[in-house]
Structure 1
Amino acid sequence: MRKAQFILIMLISVALLLPACGGSSSDLTKIEVAEVTRSIFYAPQYVAVTEGFFEDEGLDVTITTTWGGDVTMTTLISGGADIALVGSETSIYVYQQGADDVVVNFAQLTQTDGTFLVAREPNPDFTWDDLKGSVFLGQRVGGMPQMVGEYVLKSKGIDPHNDLDLIQNIDFANIANAFASGTGEYVQLFEPQATIFEREGLGHVLASFGTESGNIPYTVFMAKDSYIQKNPEIIQKFTNAIYRAQTWVYEQPAEVVAASIAPFFADTEIDIITAVVDRYRAQESYDRNPILDEQEWNLLQDIIEEAGELQLRVEHSVLVNTSFAEKAMQ
């Protein structure tokens, strides 16, 4: 009887201590985030979850992968999510359509394109002219990866539509499989496919489109202006957690970062995650802070304009709010 009483007392004590250790989930503000895809490219976002940075700010963040810019923005605009993680070009497209409640970019997560030029054979003497006359497996027409890819190719003196046999009719999810099956001599790939192909001898990374294109607001957290106006404290807390995660990602060894985000990538081997984190950090694809500056914004519009997808240029101050990022860094 004494033993049973002792166990009961211990259980009650633990229950009383739990709220003091981290707070009850009922005390946290629930936030729904729609991400455009699930990617190691977004490592700081997952770190903010697994390392408790969101929770420290009093937020209970749920991340839902909505697979595609159009679906992600529809989810945000319809109220299916509070915040979206997607390419900032989507906020421009919504603005071009005359939306009454514009979508505002408030915290930048990645600052480069995340794709790589992969060839079937290694080529230590590679030059961009080697692409001329080749069969090139590109990304979806109108998507940011394809627009950046074409921007880089043109900067290297290559006309993508005349100097290459350009294939663009394959769905994003099937591009890697198409290359592995023998389509194309070169392909534009995201991670972890690029690293996996290298490990399996199916391809070799020759260049980084992110390095070649320069810094742009590639993936950004955004919300409807009405939501930001009604919930500035939530946006600030969210941005605080993201900035803390961005700093942490660069402070920790790649192996530690990989272990932190591994629960989000159950089907990917830990050494692959580590290699991808290391590669993206080396070229500083993960932004070191959440500020989307005007120079990056203008380069983004240059790229979209070059691709023929920009109806009108939008001032930085119209669709970007850096005040939350600036305060988070203070």
Structure 2
Amino acid sequence: MKGLRKYLLLSFITAFTALFISGCSSNDDVDKVRVAEVTRSIFYAPQYVAISEGFFEEEGIEIDLTTTWGGDTTMTTLLANGADVALVGAETSIYVYAQEANDPPINFAALTQTDGTFLVSREPIDNFDWNMLKGSTFLGQRTGGMPQMVGEHVLRKHGIDPRNDLNLIQNIDFGNIPSAFASGTGEFVQLFEPTATQFEIDGIGHIVASFGAESGTVPYTGFMAKKSYIEKNNDVLERFTKALYKAQKWVESSSTEQIAKSIQPFFNDTPLDVIENVVENYKSQGSYATTPRIKEEAWDNLHIIMDQAGELPMTVDFNELVNTEIAEKVTN
């Protein structure tokens, strides 16, 4: 339940200190949709493909994309009408709902369906076994976030008690975790791409396992909007989701080289070959959702992961926070 009070406090402050234009605006039959993404990541490739390949434009939608850097900030932006749609982990909708929000965020489309982190070791390991983590110093992700919760879930899956079988470090800010490992902290670290691949290139670490391949299907990152926005702008979100679905099918059928070239403008500081490698890592393990439909079994798996981590404030019925009608209409 870490960060619950922060969501509400920040949204209250933001609502009274910033002026936002709520809802979508129309101009010559083009609807602008303001999207707040939790971070900029190759993990979200289908979203960038939908923009770069013109799929949103084909549906009469102009995307105003802002990176809000963090689940707390992203949710605050959505709640305070600073965005129409948020791209963020589904767990944040549960946190807000548990605070009895009057206008809760509703998940309506899936983007990623596995965890996006990889286990990186300081030394090369030819025949990795998860038991090698026992007794080690493991630099994990921040407490309360999906990477940390999934990381602990995977460790337990392999018979490792995160609290007693290793030295688990979780007090380093997300942005500083790579530099902490590079500076000598930890024998293992949980990292997102492209940092994991770049560490291999630079000889800092070695990818030995994927948390996404081990986690099972989960609504890891997806699109949500406030209930009131969905009710008033259902047609806009149907077209938004249709464009996303086009991109998902395009990603599924395209080569890693094609995908990398399509999304490269969003990652100017990352070499094309690194983007290709990262896309291949995510695509090969099924991280990119191939349909916007959010599955109930994935929602149940999310509850299990959060509960094991001690971060589940309450059990929330699938139909309470997931709108399936939009995705079903688009994909049928």
Could you tell me the TM-score, scaled by structure 2's length? 0.91
The counterpart of 2:283, out of the listed 281, 285, 293, is: 281
Aligned to 1:191: 193
- Residue type of the partner of 1:143? G
- Residue type of the partner of 1:101? D
- Following TM superposition, where does structure 1 have runs of at least 4 consecutive aligned residues deviating by more than 3 angstroms? 24-27
Hey, what's the Cα distance between the residues in 2 that align with 1:286 and 1:227? 26
Aligned to 1:14: none
Aligned to 1:40: 42
Q: CA RMSD in A?
A: 1.1
Does the 8 A contact of 1:131 with 1:164 survive in 2? Answer: yes
Deviations 1:24-55 (CA, angstroms, capped at 9, x unpaired): 97541111000000000000000010000000
Aligned to 2:317: 315
Matched, 1:130 2:132: yes
Which aligned pairs between 1:33-112 and structure 2 lie closer than 5 A? 33-112=35-114
Does the 8 A contact of 1:25 with 1:60 survive in 2? Answer: no
The counterpart of 1:218, out of the listed 217, 220, 224, is: 220
SS in structure 2 of the partner of residue 300 of structure 1: helix
Distance apart, 1:199 and its partner CA: 1.2
Gaps spanning 5+ residues in structure 2: where?
A: 1-25
- Residue type of the partner of 1:215? T
Hey, what's the Cα distance between the residues in 1 that align with 2:82 and 2:111? 21
Hey, what's the Cα distance between the residues in 2 that align with 1:182 and 1:292? 40
Distance apart, 1:143 and its partner CA: 0.8
Matched, 1:206 2:232: no
Aligned to 1:6: none
- Residue type of the partner of 1:44? P
Does the 8 A contact of 1:35 with 1:63 survive in 2? Answer: yes
Could you tell me the TM-score, scaled by structure 1's length? 0.92
Deviations 1:91-138 (CA, angstroms, capped at 9, x unpaired): 000100000111100000000000001001221211111001101100
State percent identity of aligned pairs: 62
Deviations 1:227-277 (CA, angstroms, capped at 9, x unpaired): 000010001000000011011011111111101101100110111001100
Hey, what's the Cα distance between the residues in 1 that align with 2:179 and 2:104? 37
Aligned to 1:244: 246
Matched, 1:168 2:184: no
SS in structure 1 of the partner of residue 228 of structure 2: helix
Gaps spanning 5+ residues in structure 1: where?
A: 1-23
Matched, 1:146 2:161: no
Hey, what's the Cα distance between the residues in 1 that align with 2:295 and 2:124? 37
Hey, what's the Cα distance between the residues in 2 that align with 1:274 and 1:47? 14
Aligned to 1:230: 232
Deviations 1:117-164 (CA, angstroms, capped at 9, x unpaired): 100122121111100110110000111100000011011111111111
- Residue type of the partner of 1:223? A
Aligned to 2:3: none
- Residue type of the partner of 2:95? Y
- Residue type of the partner of 1:36? V
Distance apart, 1:310 and its partner CA: 1.0
SS in structure 1 of the partner of residue 208 of structure 2: strand
Deviations 1:276-296 (CA, angstroms, capped at 9, x unpaired): 001100001000101111100
SS in structure 2 of the partner of residue 116 of structure 1: strand
SS in structure 1 of the partner of residue 245 of structure 2: helix
Hey, what's the Cα distance between the residues in 1 that align with 2:162 and 2:304? 17
Deviations 1:162-221 (CA, angstroms, capped at 9, x unpaired): 111111111101111111111100000000001111111111111110111100000010
Aligned to 1:15: none
SS in structure 1 of the partner of residue 224 of structure 2: strand
Hey, what's the Cα distance between the residues in 2 that align with 1:258 and 1:126? 29
Aligned to 1:328: 330
Hey, what's the Cα distance between the residues in 2 that align with 1:25 and 1:50? 21
Aligned to 1:12: none
- Structure number with bigger Rg: 1
Hey, what's the Cα distance between the residues in 1 that align with 2:50 and 2:64? 11
Aligned to 2:9: none
Hey, what's the Cα distance between the residues in 2 that align with 1:25 and 1:153? 51
Deviations 1:45-70 (CA, angstroms, capped at 9, x unpaired): 00010000000000000110000101
